[in-house]
Structure 1
C-alpha cells in the first residue's frame, strides 16, 4: 500500500508540473503577441506551485512574469515595475540565458517612468526608479548620478549624499564620448546615440563632418551639490571640507573655483568669495560675467566705489550687459538715503536753509549721474519697464515734467503690450 501511495503522489507532482509548464508556455505566447494582461493571468495560475518546480521551469516562469508586468514599458505602475525587476533578477539568478534582455526591458521602462516623474516634478519617485535602474546594471553609473540629482530636487538630502558618496567611491566622472555630425539640410551639429548611428547617417549622405569629443566632468557639479547640501543643513565646516576634497585633483579648475566662490557667497563670507573670484578673474581677464559678479559682492559689502569699478569693467567687455548698467544706477541712487536723512534733520535757520539747498543740489546730481546708465538700458532693451519707471521718477525729481510725462506715456504703451501678450 505504501509503495502504491508513493507512486500516486509522484504522478500528482508530474501532473502539477505539466500544468505549470502549460501555463508558462501560454504566458510566453501571450507575451509574444503583446497580450500582457492575458500573460499575467497564466502567470498567476502557475505561481501557486512554482516553488516546487525544477530550476529550468522556475527560470522560465520568472522571465515571463517580468515581461507580463513590464508590458509595453509605457505607464507601468510602480508596484509592477518593482515586481518585474525582481522577477528578471530571479530569472538571471536561476541562469536563464534571456534574462539580460528582460533586465534591459525593465531598465528602459524604469527610465521612461522616471522621466515622466521628473517632468511632473515627482522627484522622489524619479530618484527611486533611477536607483532601481542602477541596481539592475551597476555599470551604468549615470543612473546613479541622475538618482542623486533628483534626490536633491526632492530635498531628500540624506539620500542624495548617500548616492554622491557611492559615486565618489566609484571614481565617477560622468565623462562620455559624444558622437556628432552636421545635418546638411539645417547646417546644425547633432549628437548621435552611438558611433555606429553617426557613421550610418554620414554614409547616407545626409550628414557630414563627423566628430568625437568628450563631455565635461561632472565632479565639479557633484562637489557643488554636496557643499550646498551641507550649507542647507547648517554644516559649513563639512561644506568647506567637501570643496577642499574636490579641489585636490584639480586645484586650478576654474569651474570648481567658481563653485567654491558661490559656496562662500551662500555662507555669507563675502570676503572669501571676493578673494576667490579675483583669482578666477586673473585667469579669465576677459570674462564680463566675472566682473559683474564681483560688482554684486562688492556692493553687498558696502564697497560702492569698488562695485562701480567692476561694473564698468564688465560693460567695457560686454557693452550690452544691461544688468551691470542697472546695478550701477542703483549704486549711485543708494547714496541718496543719507542725503535725505540729513536734509530732514535740518531746521529753519538761515544756515540750515543754505545747507538744505546744497544737499538738494547734491541729490539732483545723483539723479543726473544715474540717468545715462538707465537711458542706455532702455536703448538696448526698449521694453525694460522697470528702467523706464525709474527714468520717469528721475525726470520728476530733476524738474523736467515734460520728459517725465513722455516717459509715462511710453510706460502705458509697454503695459498695454504686456497685457495683450498675456
Structure 2
C-alpha cells in the first residue's frame, strides 16, 4: 500500500512538472510575440509549482517574467520595473545566457521612466530610478551622476551627497569621446552612438567631416554642487574644504576654478570671488561673460572704474552684450548717491550755497555721462524699457521736459507691444 501511494505521488509530480514546463515555454513564445499579458498569465500558472523546477527552468521563468513586466519599455509602473529588475537578476544568478540582455532592457526602461519623472518634476523618483539603473551595471557611472543631479533638484541633499561621494571615490570625471559627422542633407553636426556607426555613415557618402571630440569634465560641477550642499546645510567650512580637495586633484581645471568663484559669490565673499575670477580670465581672456561677471563683482565691491573697465572689455569681445552697457550706465549713476548725501547736509551759508551749486553741476555731469551708454542700448535694443525709463528720469532731472516726454512716449509704445 505504501509503495502504491508513493508511486501515485511521483506520477502526480511528473504531471505537474510537465505542465509547468509547458506554461513556461508558452510564456516564452508569448514574450517573443510581444503578448505581454498572455505571458504573465502563463507565468502565473507556472509559479505555484516553481519550487519543483530545475535551475534551467527557473532561469527561463525569471527571464520571461522580466520581459513580460517591462513589455515594450514604455510607461512601465514603478512596481513592475522593480519586479522586472529583480527577475532579470535572478535569471542571471541562475546562469541564463540572455539575462544580460534583459538587464540592459530593464536599465533602458528605468532610464525612460526617469526621464518621464524629470519632465513631471518628480525628481526624487528620477533619482531613485537612475540609481537603480546604475546598480544594474556599475559601468554606467553617468547614470549615478544624473541620479545625484536629480536628488539635488529634489532637495534631498544627503542622498545627493552620498551619490557625489561615490562618484568621487570612483574617479568619475564625466569626460567622454563623442563621434560626430556632418549630415550632408541638413548641414548639421550629429553625434553617433559609436565610432563604427560614424565611420559607416561617412563611408555611405551621406555624412562628411568625421570628428572625435572630448566632452567637458564634470569635476568642477560636482565639486560646486558638493560645496553648495554643505552651504545649504550651514557647513561652510566643509564646503571650502571640499573645493580645496577637488582643486588639489585637478589643479588646472578652469571649470573648477569657476565653481570655486561661484561658491564664494554664494557666500557673499565678493572680494574672494573677484580674485578667483581674475585667475579664470587669465586662462580664458577672450571670454566676454567672464569679464562681464568681473564687472559685476567689482561694482558690488564699490570699484566703479574697474567695473566699467571690465564691462568695456566684455563689449569689445561681444558688442551685443546689452547688459554690459546698462551696467556701465548704472555704475556711472551710482556716483550720484554720495553727491546727493553731501548736498543734503549743507546749510544756507554763502560757502555752503556755493558748494551746493558745485555738487549740483557734478550731479548733472553724472547724468550726461550715463546718457550715451543708454542711447547705445536703445540703438541696439529699441524695446529695452529699462533703458528708456532710466533716460526719462535723467531728462526730468536735467530739466529737459521735451526729451523726457519723448522717452515717456517710447515707454508707452514698448509696453503696448508686450
- Asked if TM exceeds 0.5, the reply is yes
Shift of 1:352: 4.5
- Give the distance between the partners of 2:340 and 2:158, measured in 1 at CA: 51
Aligned to 2:393: 393
Which residues in structure 2 correspond to 1:60-209 (within 5 Å)?
60-209=60-209
- The equivalent of 2:56 in structure 1 is 56
Greater shift after overlay, 212-221 or 53-62?
212-221
TM value normalised by structure 1:
0.94
Name whichever of 66-75 and 351-360 sits farther off.
Answer: 351-360
Q: Distance between the aligned counterparts of 2:74 and 2:282, measured in 1? A: 52
SS in 2 for 1:37: helix
Q: Per-residue deviation at 1:398?
A: 0.9
Q: Secondary structure at the match of 1:181?
A: strand
Aligned to 1:289: 289
| Structure 1 range deviating more: 82-91 or 375-384 | 375-384
Q: Does 1:242 find its partner at 2:242?
A: yes
What does residue 34 of structure 2 align with? 34
Shift in Å at residue 265 of structure 1? 1.3
Whole-angstrom distance in 1 between the partners of 2:162 and 2:362: 59
Q: CA deviation at 1:348?
A: 4.8
Distance 1:356 1:400 in 2: 21
Q: Counterparts of 2:203 and 2:287 in 1: how far apart (Å)?
A: 41
* Higher deviation after alignment, 7-16 or 96-105: 7-16
CA distance in 2, matches of 1:51, 1:384: 75
Cα deviation, residue 345, structure 1: 4.0
Q: Could you tell me which residue of structure 1 aligns to residue 253 of structure 2?
A: 253
Is 2:220–2:257's contact at 8 Å kept on the other side of the alignment? no
Aligned to 2:323: 323
Query: What displacement does 1:274 show?
Result: 1.8
Q: How does 1:360-399 map to 2 (within 5 A)?
A: 360-399=360-399
**3-state SS in 2 of match to 1:210:** strand
DSSP-derived class of the 1:286 partner: coil
Alignment partner, residue 299 of structure 2:
299
Partner of 2:3: 3
Instruction: State the distance in 1 between where 2:5 and 2:251 align.
Output: 80
SS of 1:75 mapped into structure 2:
coil
Larger mean CA deviation between 7-16 and 398-407 belongs to 7-16
Partners of 2:284 and 2:86 in 1: CA distance: 52
Offset at residue 347 of structure 1 (A): 4.5
Q: CA deviation at 1:361?
A: 2.3
User: What displacement does 1:407 show?
Assistant: 1.7
**Cα distance, 1:98 vs. partner?**
1.2
Shift of 1:73: 0.5
> Could you tell me how far apart the structure 2 residues matched to 1:35 and 1:243 are?
53
CA distance in 2, matches of 1:3, 1:11: 12
1:175-233 per-position Cα deviation (integer Å, ceiling 9, x unaligned): 21211111112222211111222122212211112122222222222112111111221
2:283, 2:100 → 1: CA distance? Answer: 49
Deviation for aligned residue 1:63: 0.8
How far off its partner does 1:406 sit? Answer: 1.5
Deviations 1:90-121 (A, max 9, x none): 01111111111211111111111111111222
Secondary structure of 1:248's counterpart equals helix
Q: Any idea what SS the aligned residue of 2:180 has? A: strand
Deviation by residue 1:126-165 (Cα, 9 ceiling, x = unmatched):
1111111111111121111111111111121111111111
TM-score by length of 2: 0.95
